[in-house]
Amino acid sequence: MWGTADEQLALWRAMGIDHLLLEQNGTLHDEALDQLEESCPGSVFILARM
């Protein structure tokens, strides 16, 4: 993430992103995101890895 919080929000909105989940190496929601992607293909997108 770069820029101020307002700059980040403006960028995400310009890209049409209305939901965002920040994950820490898949340790918090990895299994849940896998299940969501399995039941609704295309619903989970990885935008960046840091």
Structure tokens at 9: 């929000």
CA–CA distance from 34 to each of 8, 15, 17 (Å)? 26, 24, 20
Q: Mapping DSSP to helix (H, G, I), strand (E, B) and coil, where does residue 14 land?
A: helix
50 has pLDDT over 70: no
Contacts of 23 (CB under 8 A, 6+ apart): 29, 30, 33
> Which residues 6+ apart lie within 8 Å of 11 measured at CB?
3
Binned at pLDDT 50, 70 and 90, residue 1 comes out as low
Q: What is the pLDDT of residue 49?
A: 66
Q: Domain limits of the chain?
A: 18-50
What is the tens place of the pLDDT at every residue in 29-47? 777 778 888 888 887 777 7
